Structures are given as C-alpha cells and as structure tokens.
Amino acid sequence: MRWTATLRARKQDVERLLAEAVPDLSVAGEDDSHLVFAFSDPPDDGSFESESHAAKAVIDAFVRHINGFGRLRWGRSFEGVTVASTRATDSNGKVTQYEFLGQAVAHLTPEDFAVMVERLGFPKPSPPLGLDVVNALDGAGVTKLAESNPQVARVLQLVELMLEGDHDINWVAGYSALEAIDHDLAARGVDGHALGWWTKRERKDFNATANSVEALGSRARHGKPSGLREARMHTTDASWFVRRVTAYWLTHLLGEGT
C-alpha cells in the first residue's frame, strides 16, 4: 500500500522545510501552502488494528518530528504543519482518502522583529543568545536522527509542547527536555556546561523559576511552595535557553553520527 499525506502549512514554512531537504518530503505540485509526505508499507509490530492505524502512527510521528524541529529552529514564527488529508493507494489503484483539520498562530523570528523595531525608529535589539547555533541546525539531519533515536524524538516533542500557545511557555515541558538531555549527556560522558553550552547561573535560575509555585502558579513544575516569589528567568530567556541547549546537544549528536 502506498500512503500519501498532504500537509498544510503557510508558504514561508513550506519554503523553510523544502530548503532543509527533509527526506520523503516534497512540494505538492504548484501549491505553495502544502507539502507531501509519501511512504509505503508502514511498519507494524502487531499492536495496530489495521494498516491504516499503522500508517497514521507513521504520519503522526513525522509531523511531530517536523514541528519539533521547526519550533526549535524558528521558534513561534514557525506555525507548524498539520495533516490536511491522507490518501492510500492499493496495488489495484483503488484510493481511500481521509480529511483532517488544523490551525496556526503567527509570530516573528528575532531577525524579523529586529527589522520591525528599526523601522519604528528604535535601536536594533541584540539577537538572543544561541540564535547562531539554532539557525545552523540541519533539518534533514535532525529529523533523520529523530527516526532512529527515541530520545531525540522525545526532546523535539517536548520543545514543541514548550512553545504551544502564543506568549507563555510550558515550563514543565522545557524542564523535561533539559532533563532528558542531561541524562543522555551523562551516559555519553559529556559535560555540556564545560563545553560552554550553558552557565551554572542560567541553569539555577531556570530550575528555580520552573519549580516555583509562587512565581508561576499552576504552570510550575512543583505543587508545593519553593520560597521563590519572583521569577529568576524571564519567559523569553527561558525559551531561548532550552532551545540553545537543545541545539548544541543535537549538533553534538549529529557530529558523532549517532
């Protein structure tokens, strides 16, 4: 069975993803707002009711990987891809089609924001720390790595969860992403702090804020008071902190070929 999923995205995100040359992803003809993800014979370990359920699992995982990388690479300015339709074609040419709906939210990249600020007559803001390493990520390499490394797939999903919504971040998801990276680095005998990926002060400020019920309320990682009444790290700084550490980690993994 040949499966084809049509993915909906805004034009800018389509162009971004095509430029990354992600395997099995192509443009949908002359339509600049859709992409095509095609594959054959989805793997089935016996846990799926039918081939269609197995195919949906493959598509859902691919979309998570793409959206996780996109949010890591371009932040909230990447509105993500959603499944517009799925088509299955059997050996006799019979087609079965499914329809899905999605949604999107608009944001600016740091570069676009800086241009806007300058046009308004204000000084150009400094780029967030880590923008260079995030911008240098290889989309094709990261998504391929996510297919074979469950830890990478999980961290990408956590980054996506962290950046859901318009303004705040999911501190719990961000904390979990860093925790997963810590565990992987420890297993490899790698010290991210020693490599300059983060400072001790940054990590302490992020952890203290994420754990503080007084500062974050229901968004805090913990449910009991921590004694910290004011956040020690701003939401924007926290977002970029997680993205920067994640980007350094992924760059390291890609360099190792693991």
The model's pLDDT over 176-227, given as tens digits with 9 standing for 90+, comes to 999 999 999 999 999 999 999 999 999 999 999 999 888 888 788 887 787 7
Q: Give a yes or no: residue 114 inside a domain.
A: no
Mean pLDDT taken over the chain: 89
Q: Give a yes or no: residue 202 inside a domain.
A: yes
Kindly state whether residues 233 and 153 are assigned to the same domain. Answer: yes
pLDDT of residue 225: 80
Q: pTM for this one?
A: 0.74
Kindly state whether residues 146 and 219 are assigned to the same domain. Answer: yes
How far is 1 from 102, CA to CA, in rounded Å? Answer: 26
Q: Give a yes or no: residue 23 inside a domain.
A: yes
Q: What is the CATH number of the domain that holds 70?
A: 3.90.1600
Token digits of residue 185: 């680095």
- Is the pLDDT reported for residue 97 higher than 90? no
What's the total number of domains in the chain?
A: 2
Kindly state whether residues 89 and 160 are assigned to the same domain. Answer: no
CA end-to-end span of the chain? 31
User: What average pLDDT does the segment 15-36 reach?
Assistant: 89
Q: Give a yes or no: residue 61 inside a domain.
A: yes
Buried b (16+ CB within 10 A) or exposed e, 192-228: beeeebbeeebbebbbbbbbbbebbeeebbeeeebeb
> What DSSP character marks residue 77?
G
Give the DSSP H or E segment for 39.
Answer: strand 31-40
Range of the domain at 91: 2-99
Kindly state whether residues 146 and 220 are assigned to the same domain. Answer: yes
Q: What percent of the chain has pLDDT over 90?
A: 57
